[in-house]
Amino acid sequence: MGFLDIRNVTKSYGSVEVLHRVDISAEEGEFLVLVGPSGCGKSTLLNMIAGLEAISSGDIAINGRVVNGVHPSKRNIAMVFQSYALYPNMTVGQNITFGLEMHGVPKPERDKALAQVAKLLQIDHLLDRKPAQLSGGQRQRVAMGRALVRNPDVFLFDEPLSNLDAKLRVDMRTEIKKLHQRLGRTIVYVTHDQIEAMTLSTRIAVMNKGYVQQFGTPKEIYDTPSNLFVASFMGSPSMNLIPAKVAVENGAPHVVVMDAEGQARLLRLSQPALSAWSGREIVLGVRPEAITDPEGADRKSLNVQPLKNRVTVTEPAGSDTFVTTTLGGKDIIARMRADASVSPGEVFDFAVNMDKAVAFDPVTENRIA
């Protein structure tokens, strides 16, 4: 049992079930991110934790207490909204302390808490301003201040960075991460941005169509996605998914893939269990960074397979060079060192780190190894 427990929770509107038996939990101090495309039910789930939407079945428990039906203000939670939802008629100071006032905290204590939070977020100089006089980043800080001052068990963030411009978003992301490291509080954070999810979280729930597709640490999600949806949703550029066939050669399982010229190529798989799939179709999943030039290959890997193939496009991005080639009839992206000498049209020696490759069942779309 964790600090925040979501047990078998469903949500229906009338006869339509929009969330199906969600079962996740987070320990105290964890940074749980709910990520998924729009309409996947992540915001609904957050609103249910907040108490703004009723739970159709199942239980939500915070700090050992089941909070189904408990009023939002009595759950000891605080929320940062997407639009910040700052009260336009109140000053920054009043905005931050409104919750304390509503909970009957006396004025001297409120002022003390306000001073602390303002210092923490570096908004001391803004306390007498109205929200309309603040920039986007400042509003974001005030919204966080309003949540922090309550000293809640759980912080809820509803896509808090989506209204900021790209640069500020990255800065605020770091700020939030710092804040979490400093305060060590439990956070539930909703986003559709997989980079935010990866960088911030200690645990991710990837959601789609009302189901939790995978729940795990960022590393688990990234390295061993449980199905094709998670594999393609997480990571940018996303994982290469190559149609292939399994064949056993010299007692070890190999994949047979078509290269750009339509020639069959053999790559030895690192998972012996895949011998059972001999002769059958699979989808091979390889992250772009697992396909490199031979010098750039992971030295610690026990199974780097060479692969000659024709290059179609190269895209130097400064820090890396993205190289596109064709495998199994699909465009495949390889991520190479910036100084790798590759030119379009040439036949290049790729190195595929098969230790990092995963395999999916093309029918059920689940990972098999």
Partner 1 sequence: MSTISQEAVVVRPAAPVPSQDTAVRTSRVARTFIYLVLLLFALFYLLPFAIMVINSVKPLSEITGGNMLALPQDWTIAPWLSAWSTAQIGVEPTGLRPYFLNSILMVVPAVAISTILGALNGYVLTKWRFRGDTILFGLMLFACFIPFQIVLIPMARMLGLMGLAGSTPGLILVHVVYGLGFTTLYFRNYYAAFPTELVRAAMMDGAGFFRIFWRIMLPVSGPIAVVSVIWQFTNIWNDFLFGASFADLDSMPMTVGLNNLVNSSTGVKEYNVHFAGAILAALPTLLVYIVAGRYFVRGLMAGSVKG
| Nearest distance from C-beta of residue 117 to partner 1, angstroms | 14
Q: Is 244 in the site for partner 1 (CB under 8 A)?
A: no
Q: Is 146 in the site for partner 1 (CB under 8 A)?
A: yes
Q: What angle do CA 176, 181, 182 make, to 5 degrees?
A: 95
Q: What angle do CA 365, 280, 354 make, to 5 degrees?
A: 75
Among 4, 6, 55, 79, binds partner 1 (CB under 8 A): 79
| Nearest distance from C-beta of residue 46 to partner 1, angstroms | 12
Among 29, 39, 58, 72, binds partner 1 (CB under 8 A): 72
Q: How many CB atoms lie within 10 A of CB 125?
A: 9
Site string for partner 1, 83-122 (x = CB under 8 A): x-xxxxx--------xx--xx-------------------
Which of 307, 306, 310, 296 has its CA nearest to residue 338?
296
| Nearest distance from C-beta of residue 168 to partner 1, angstroms | 20
**First CA to last CA distance, the chain:** 29
Q: Cα separation of 50 and 158, whole Å? A: 11
| Nearest distance from C-beta of residue 191 to partner 1, angstroms | 17
Task: Copy the structure tokens of residue 326.
Answer: 């064709």
Q: Is 81 in the site for partner 1 (CB under 8 A)?
A: yes
Task: Copy the structure tokens of residue 197.
Answer: 């999810």
The contacts of residue 268 (CB under 8 Å, 6+ apart) are 249, 252, 253, 254, 303, 305, 354
Given a contact cutoff of 8 angstroms between Cβ atoms, the answer to whether 96 and 124 are in contact is: no
Residue list 17-56, contact with partner 1 (CB under 8 A)? 50-52
| Nearest distance from C-beta of residue 314 to partner 1, angstroms | 36
| Nearest distance from C-beta of residue 156 to partner 1, angstroms | 9
Site string for partner 1, 154-183 (x = CB under 8 A): ------------------------------
Residues that bind partner 1 (CB under 8 A): 50-52, 72-73, 77-79, 81-83, 85-89, 98-99, 102-103, 146, 150
